[in-house]
Amino acid sequence: MDCCSHEGRTVGDARFEIKKVADGVHAAVAAPAYKVNSNTAIIESDDGVVIVDTHSKPSAARVIVERLSEITTKPVRYVVNTHFHWDHWHGNEVYPAVYPHAEIVTNQLTREAMVRKGLKRIQDHVRQVPREIAQLKADLAAARAPAERARLEADVRLAESYLAEVTTLRPALPTIAFEQTMKLYRRDREIHLLFLGRAHTEGDVFVYLPKEKVVITGDAVIGWTPFMGDGYPEDWVATVDRLAQLDFTQMIMGHGDVAGRDWLAMFRGYVHDMVDAVRAEVAAGATLEEVQQRVPERLAPVYEKPFSLYGHYRPWRAALRANIERTYAMVS
């Protein structure tokens, strides 16, 4: 396969563009989806393949399994989950079913979060999606514009398909868990699994390839405004600073295109400046509503444009207000 990207078969809303990042290292970059899919990293070694993250549903993981045949005939040996959020591990069950010797790996904090929170959220989805479908059907009944009707009809189909999958999900928890660091030494490659501190969740895992100078960040660094609902905004910058100390030139992020260190600096700046601005407002006695009015205007000149590149995923100001609310609660 050459250095260019290419498309392949899709299922439902599972569409991925496979991009070669280094020899034997590929990023499957997820396209916009009704139920968001994470990116996947594919790392080929002499004796097998390492997969990083498995998307929001088994059907999406099966698309990657099929696409693997375009890259290699080697089996998947390890599946790594970067954190406990549903869109990064709900496809886990596919890999041991296809590759019986595959092990699922994460750190202990993330495995515990999957058990304590992730399994409950699967049941939350089972309860919530029928209401979501009912609302979509009501919106469809009221819609008049052909384009809007077509979009809503597609969303109803995708939501019903997702409900069928999440109802029958067989959650495959990690079979191997580490504390701070785990290293895989293959004949032709070193793969470092690292815990660098709290950020997007309590247990974010980074995958680092020192020879290839590639790092896989999960959602600790993404291509648009991060979700902080389970995050630790005050710790996040220090974790990103530890990441920046690694010798790498390319990042495969949890969402968004492959990026370089320039985007890491922009992302770090956003988290740092947002936290500092909220801290200053809290120290001055501002209410949450006042902070949500003032901080966006302060940050917009620097961050609104670059963080709106993927505005169809998360509009910057709406996502920022949610980040401010999380940070305000933790700072105050």
- The model's confidence at residue 8, banded by pLDDT at 50, 70 and 90, is very low
Who has greater pLDDT, 65 or 11? 65
Given strand 48-52, what is the order of strands in its sheet?
Answer: 16-22, 25-30, 40-45, 48-52, 76-80, 103-107, 176-178
Name which of 26-40, 213-227, 277-291, 308-322 the model is least confident about: 308-322
* 48 assigned to some structural domain: no
Domain total for the chain? 2
Q: How far apart are CA 273 and CA 253, in angstroms?
A: 21
Mean pLDDT for 158-168 is 93
Mean pLDDT for 97-102 is 96
**What is the value of pTM for the model shown?**
0.92
Q: Which long-range contacts (CB under 8 A, 24 or more apart) does 293-302 make?
A: 295/320, 295/324, 296/320, 296/321, 296/324, 298/273, 299/270, 299/273, 299/274, 302/269, 302/273
Integer-rounded Cα Rg, in Å, for the chain is 20
Residue 144's pLDDT is 93
Give the percent of the chain with pLDDT over 70. 95
Residue 33's pLDDT is 80
* 316 assigned to some structural domain: yes
Query: Among 167, 184, 203, which residue terminates a domain?
Result: 167
Residue 16's pLDDT is 94
- Residues in the chain, overall count: 332
Residue 182's pLDDT is 98
* 35 assigned to some structural domain: no
Between the CA of residue 36 and those of 127, 167, 247, what are the distances in Å? 19, 17, 30
Query: Among 122, 143, 167, which residue terminates a domain?
Result: 167
Q: How far apart are CA 30 and CA 15, in angstroms?
A: 6
**Could you report the per-residue pLDDT of 174-206, keeping only the tens digit for each?**
999 999 999 999 988 999 999 999 999 999 999
Residue 6's pLDDT is 44
Residue 3's pLDDT is 38
Look up the domain containing 162 and give its range. Answer: 112-167
Residue 305, exposed/middle/buried by CB under 10 A (0-12, 13-18, 19+)? Answer: exposed
**Could you report the per-residue pLDDT of 260-288, keeping only the tens digit for each?**
999 999 999 999 999 999 999 999 999 99
* 312 assigned to some structural domain: yes
Residue 309 in this model has a pLDDT that exceeds 90: no
- The model's confidence at residue 332, banded by pLDDT at 50, 70 and 90, is confident
Residue 32's pLDDT is 80
Residue 36's pLDDT is 86
* 83 assigned to some structural domain: no
Name which of 10-14, 104-108, 132-136, 145-149 the model is least confident about: 10-14
Residue 276's pLDDT is 97
* 222 assigned to some structural domain: no
**Could you tell me the two tokens for 147?**
């384009």
Query: Among 167, 193, 208, which residue terminates a domain?
Result: 167
* 12 assigned to some structural domain: no
* 152 assigned to some structural domain: yes
- The residue type at 238: A
**Could you report the per-residue pLDDT of 33-44, keeping only the tens digit for each?**
888 899 999 999
Helices 233-244 and 316-331, axial angle in degrees (round to 10): 110
Residue 314's pLDDT is 73
Who has greater pLDDT, 4 or 287? 287
Listed in sequence order, the DSSP H helices in the chain are 58-68, 94-98, 108-113, 119-142, 146-167, 233-244, 261-283, 288-303, 316-331
Residue 313's pLDDT is 65
